[in-house]
């Protein structure tokens, strides 16, 4: 709701469309300039994503096609958080279903983000594991693609070539690359002390 800093005011929302994956709402809003109108807001289910980086500094990704954007590229493994399921458990489950790999050890929360906050709610939680073992074949037949262990050193190149599909791959991978050597959660080394 409104605050003394000129924020947007909302006066309710009505649902236009609703199903398991997406809800479209029409929100009665007032902008800081006083103008008022109905604003479309897309509400997506919460998402959990797993980032597995092995001891050879490679990340497990799926090369696949996405028809809405008519694009091939790499994605991390993840999916919708089920009711009464913890996001870290979702990420681990989705990794098993989509790849046949089982993450090893405790999940490390890497980052939380909203990929398109101007019009879409899609709370996204990302978890990091530093090992996984092959326990079977993928069981999710909808997530068809080619599994690859991609060197972390290629991430910036892949991003520049637009071969990392969507915020669910870009945000976690770029955060991981940027935080290495800083002593943050994803960094394997501590940052050097200032002289």
Q: Does residue 52 fall inside a structural domain?
A: yes
Residue 194 has pLDDT above 60, yes or no: no
**Residue 21 sits in the same domain as residue 69:** no
Number of domains in the chain: 2
- Residue 49: which of 12, 90, 9 has the closest Cα? 90
**Span 65-121, pLDDT tens digits:** 999 999 999 999 999 999 999 999 999 999 999 999 999 999 999 999 999 999 999
Domain interval for residue 27: 9-44
Question: In sequence order, what are the residues at sequence separation of 6 or more whose Cβ sits closer than 8 angstroms to the Cβ of residue 145?
Answer: 62, 63, 64, 65, 75
5-22 mean pLDDT: 89
Shared domain check, 94 and 74: yes
Give the pLDDT score at 141.
77
The pLDDT, as a whole number, for residue 124 is 98
DSSP 68: T
160 and 102 inside one domain: yes
Mean pLDDT of 127-152: 92
Residue-wise pLDDT tens digits, 21-39: 899 999 999 999 999 999 9
């Amino acid at each position: 709701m409104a605050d003394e800093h000129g924020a947007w005011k909302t006066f309710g929302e009505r649902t236009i469309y609703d199903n398991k994956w997406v809800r479209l709402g029409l929100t009665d809003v007032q902008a800081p300039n006083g103008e008022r109108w109905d604003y479309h807001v897309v509400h997506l289910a919460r998402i959990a994503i797993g980032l597995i980086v092995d001891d050879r500094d490679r990340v497990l990704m799926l090369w696949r096609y996405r028809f809405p954007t008519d694009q091939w590229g790499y994605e991390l493994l993840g999916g919708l958080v089920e009711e009464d399921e913890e996001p870290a458990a979702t990420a681990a489950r989705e990794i098993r279903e989509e790849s046949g790999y089982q993450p090893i050890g405790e999940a490390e929360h890497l980052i939380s983000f909203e990929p398109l906050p101007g019009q879409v709610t899609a709370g996204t939680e990302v978890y990091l594991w530093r090992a996984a073992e092959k326990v079977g074949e993928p069981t999710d037949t909808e997530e068809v693609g080619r599994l690859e262990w991609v060197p972390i050193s290629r991430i910036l190149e892949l991003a520049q070539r637009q071969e990392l599909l969507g915020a669910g791959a870009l945000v976690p991978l770029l955060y991981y690359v940027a935080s290495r050597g800083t002593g943050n959660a994803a960094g394997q080394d501590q940052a050097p002390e200032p002289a």
